[in-house]
Structure 1
Amino acid sequence: MWRQRAGAAALRHSQHAARSSLAAAPAAAAAPDAPAAAEQAAKPPPQLEPLPAAQLARNAALVERLRGQLMLAPLTRGGCLPFRRLCAAHGAKVTYSEMAFARQLLKGNRKELAILRRAGNEQCYGVQIATNVIDEGVRAGVLVAEAGADFLDLNCGCPIYEATRRGLGAALLRKPHKLARLVNGIAARLPLPLTVKIRLGESADKINVHEMVGLLEQAGAAAVTVHGRTMEQRYKKAADWELVQQVAAQHSVPLVGNGDVLTHYEVRRRLDSHGLLTVMVGRGALIKPWLFQEVKEGRELCPTASERVGIYRQLVAYMKEHFRDDARGKRAAFYFLPWHFNFFARYRPMPEAVYGAASLQQPLLSTRWDSIACGELGETVEGLAPLERLLRCENEAAFGPIADALWEAACDADAEAALVRLAAGNLLEWEEELRAGGSRGGRREEAQAQG
């Protein structure tokens, strides 16, 4: 059912070996990009000011709150308050807002200001902003503190054009010294800790994560999250956890690893072997909001189709409470709810005894499924109940009707009955469309889920 990409894995292995060899020979390491290295070396180090003692104390306290806690990534569209509330209800203790543009916050933009709102069950809540101006970041950070957040996060990893065209997000990685001054200027004046989220670099031939992390440590970042891909890669390749491991080993700033975790045993493996402060999850939580509970309990929960209907209806209940249970509220909620089934439909049970070895070869999140049935578990398409098949259907034509059935149902049993009727009338057609190469909703949204 899953296909290992041996060629790609071999290429990654050779690249890691080459990196290790270069690390062992510093003179040779400069050879591939000697002009750029020489130009950077010629620049004077950025002038950074020490953080006030009070800020250093806040940083240290935040690090202890983050240590070992699986963190919910800042997710564009996916990280709305009701979804964060759902993850918190299933054990997430550290959550982030969607990314907010600092300039729009300061202009009083209602949509951006709404991002600051915190759910009542979010225990440690960070707001992520995008800015490239110190004063703008400081003033936005004050708003964030007044809204009740526990820390501020600076987005230096978003690869989407809407951010990079403005010199924000991952575009900040192009000028490490300027970014260090930005972080230092904001962190030194904030009433709450500042963390930073970055990628490995701009592209495969412009990886500068070691330099960036070193500078961010000097600049006063409380912690740094490293997404194990470059800006250009987006989600096209598996996250480079070997490089993340090297960075964690060579720098003392608390480091969070991010990229391609879907199961409790993958999270455990990252924490056990990489010397990280903790791990951040994005798309994996969108697929399995209960992943946080699995990590806490150290086991696969494998919820049945009926149990998953109950979880999805819990999200609906939170959306009705947040947006209101009327026609206007439904319109607002349905910007999010059908979209979530891009991810919910990808759920498959993955017990460690069956899939643990496969996850060592290739991240399970990167696996392309040939069938909705898990052959390794003895499943067949014909043997799956209609409800299970419907919840695994990745045809985007199904997402709206599924969301509508959940919204209109008075209880879980009513929702399940409505979904079974929906499957009886439409499932075969939706599955046939997928087999014919039709509209698959679950692979086109990666740029929007900035985990």
Structure 2
Amino acid sequence: MKIGNMEIQGRAALAPMAGVTDAAFRQVCQGFGAAYTVTEMVSARAVTYGDKKTAEIAAVSQDASPVFIQLFGEDPQTIAQAGEMLMALHPDGFDLNMGCPVPKVAGNGAGSALMQDPQKCGEIVSALRRSVPVPVTVKMRAGWDESSKNAVEVAKICQQAGAAALCVHGRTRTQMYQGKADWDIIRQMKEAVSVPVIGNGDVAGAQSARNLLMETGCDMVMVGRGALGNPWVFRQINAYLTDSCTILPPPGIAERLFTMRRHIGLLVELKGEGRAMREARKHAGWYLHGLRGAAEFRRRAGQLCTLEDLDRLVGDVYQRNQQEQEEDL
């Protein structure tokens, strides 16, 4: 598959998630075979103001290609200016956020609110496409609510404006992240446009990824919450799709803990120990989900302050699981 002139290897990409898909997590997912990754959403207006925190979110220098910077905003010229400025970071492309449902974004006319104004969606794509030499993609929702599922209309307009690929999350804005994703809207979009279509919503593993591809005809899937504490999901999807539906087993306790430690170690390198360990608490909780003694271990994960705390936790989790495995024999 190609996005613009860029060859994409693999069928599963990492979805942008605020507070999650920073450079550390992207690197881990890239290592497990994510076809491409997308940054946390970046405010176009903040970029033009020279905000340092925003520049940090947009940094992609340590990523393996391909990586896209996701921009959000409601003004075409501001987004175009931000894209031009961010080219200094050498992204492989830009993704436009037309799907974020949270009030602080949608309430200001950006994110999923843009789907209430399809023509403006096209204006934003066109403005950014004229200002940058790399592909521009769009991530949208099925629509604002059940009575206005207009993703197909918006997709056609965005394609006409120059979008190189389109991703649709099969939920409306009013659904937020609840209920079942509507995969039929993904199928309708695929039938309506000629650029690649990426399906998103309810992809939790290899089999659901294949089901989404088969039921909709979309070109790729994008994995969001299914990758939390589970970056090897990309390895499992790739194996299932390319090796006669081979279902790889979940990683053993050693690999799971090694991956968690590596991930949080990267966080510390990027952000410093104090800040990184606060952010690591949620990641550790996700990695430990489902393990024996998980409730107690996740409680400790919520109190992590140093890498030494993490290493003690890793040792205790490993020892506990080894002991219980021996008892089961």
TM-score (norm. length: structure 2)? 0.88
Which residue of structure 1 aligns with residue 270 of structure 2? 322
Matched, 1:122 2:54: no
Higher strand share: 2
Counterpart-to-counterpart distance in 2, 1:342 and 1:234: 23
Out of 220, 224, 239, the residue aligned to residue 278 of structure 1 is 220
Write the distance in 2 (CA, Å) between the matches of 1:61 and 1:135: 25
Using the TM superposition, name which of 212-221 and 241-250 deviates more.
Answer: 241-250
The letter of the residue matching 2:315 is A
The size of the alignment, in residue pairs, is 314
Task: Give the structure 1 partner of residue 124 of structure 2.
Answer: 182
Residues 152 and 185 of structure 2 are in contact (CA less than 8 Å); yes or no, is this contact kept in structure 1?
no
The aligned residue for residue 325 of structure 2 is: none
CA drift of 1:250 comes to: 2.7
From the superposition, tell whether residues 206 and 410 of structure 1 become closer, same or farther in structure 2 (CA, over 3 Å): closer
Change (3 A) 1:122 1:150: same
Shift of 1:268: 2.1
1:137 aligns with 2:108: no
Provide the residue aligned with 1:308 in structure 2.
Answer: 256
Deviation at residue 295 of structure 1 after TM alignment = 1.8
Gaps of 5+ in 2: 241-246, 322-329
- The CA distance in 2 between the partners of 1:339 and 1:330, in whole Å, is 15
**Structure 1 residue 138 displacement after superposition:** 1.4
Q: Which has the larger radius of gyration?
A: 1
1:233 deviates by 0.2
**Match of 2:279?**
336
CA displacement at 1:269 relative to structure 2: 2.5
1:97-155 Cα shifts (integer Å, max 9, x gaps): 00010110111111100012125342201000112222211111122221010001110
CA distance in 2, matches of 1:196, 1:127: 11
Establish whether residue 60 from structure 1 lines up as the match of residue 8 from structure 2: no
Residues 69 and 94 in structure 1, CA contact (< 8 A), matched pair in contact too: no
**Which stretch of the first structure deviates more once superposed, 299-308 or 144-153?**
299-308
Q: CA deviation at 1:272?
A: 3.3
Structure 2 CA distance for aligned equivalents of residues 175 and 229 of structure 1: 18
- Residue type matched to 1:397 in 2? R
Secondary structure of the structure 1 residue equivalent to 2:146: coil
Which of 262, 267, 292 does residue 389 from structure 1 map onto? 292
Helix, strand or coil at the partner of 2:5: helix
Q: 2:202 aligns with which of 239, 242, 260?
A: 260
Measured against aligned partners, the alpha-carbon deviations of 1:346-375 in whole angstroms (never above 9, x if no partner) come to 45xxxxxxxxxxxxxxxxxxxxxxxxxxxx
**2:22 counterpart of 1:80:** yes
Contact 1:345 1:394 in 2 (8 A): no
Q: Is the 8 A contact 2:45 2:78 kept in 1?
A: yes
Once residues 345 and 394 of structure 1 are traced to their aligned partners in structure 2, the CA distance between those partners, rounded to angstroms, is 10
Give me the whole-angstrom Cα distance separating, in 2, the residues matched to 1:418 and 1:309: 11
Q: Which residue matches 2:146?
A: 204
Q: CA deviation at 1:345?
A: 4.2
Equivalent residue letter for 2:83: G
Partner of 2:174: 232
For 1:396 and 1:171, locate their aligned partners in 2 and report how far apart those are by CA, in whole Å: 36
Map 1:11-30 to 2 at 5 A: none
Shift of 1:395: 8.8
Question: Compared with structure 1, are the counterparts of its residues 77 and 109 closer, same or farther at alpha carbon in structure 2 (3 Å cutoff)?
Answer: same
Counterpart AA for 2:308: E
CA 1:336–1:180: 2 relative to 1, 3 Å: same
SS at match of 1:389: coil
- Higher relative contact order structure (alpha carbons within 8 Å, sequence separation ≥ 6): 1
Amino acid at match of 2:98: C
